[in-house]
Amino acid sequence: MAAMSPPSNWPRNRLLRALPARNLKQLLPELEHIRYQREQVLLDADSSLDSIFFLDSGVVSAMAVYSDGGTIEMATIGREGCAGVQAVFGAKNSSARFFVQIPGSGAKMSRAAFNRVMGSVPPFRNLMYPTSTPFSSKSWCRQRATVPIVSRSGSRVGCL
């Protein structure tokens, strides 16, 4: 991921743009403008959840990773969402691999900054909770209601 100077209309992520202007202004110092390349792994399954990524362009796939190395796509994320949203639930590790399908750019926020902002900016917190619901294992199982998907560490990440 290459850091770069943000364009004047940055960020373009719809979650961040939904914030009131004064709250977005509070977040800007916590965001790093980055570019990501095709096939780049932003977060790997079971890796430390150190950053959250808000996409401005491009597409990222949320992939369940099986113990034999096999994968299955659980969701696609564009500029309407973010990768690493499991941090909302206090997860320390990523429950999925977030893999770039279409290159683009976005904003990277450290886990520490994300936690601070969740605690101090209520409109941000109010946006993040509903966004994170589809990534909870209970939600995946209710919506798809069949066989659970389990990550390499044994944590439940979704269902088939």
Residue 41 lies in a domain: yes
* φ, ψ for residue 75, nearest 5 deg: -165, 160
Burial class (CB in 10 A: 0-12, 13-18, 19+), 16: buried
Per-residue pLDDT, 69: 87
Residue 156 lies in a domain: no
CATH number at residue 99: 2.60.120.10
- Residue 67: which domain range? 2-135
Compute the distance between CA of residue 28 and CA of residue 146 in angstroms, rounded to an integer.
41
Residue 147 lies in a domain: no
| Interval 1-19 mean pLDDT | 80
How many structural domains does the chain have? Answer: 1
Distances (CA, A) of 65 to 42, 72, 106, 112, 127: 14, 7, 24, 26, 28
Compute the distance between CA of residue 92 and CA of residue 22 in angstroms, rounded to an integer.
29
In the predicted model, is pLDDT for residue 148 greater than 60?
no
| Interval 7-16 mean pLDDT | 87
| Interval 16-34 mean pLDDT | 95
Compute the distance between CA of residue 48 and CA of residue 18 in angstroms, rounded to an integer.
28
| Interval 123-152 mean pLDDT | 57
Give the tens place of pLDDT for each residue, 66-113: 989 899 999 999 999 999 988 888 889 998 999 999 999 999 999 999
Residue 106 lies in a domain: yes
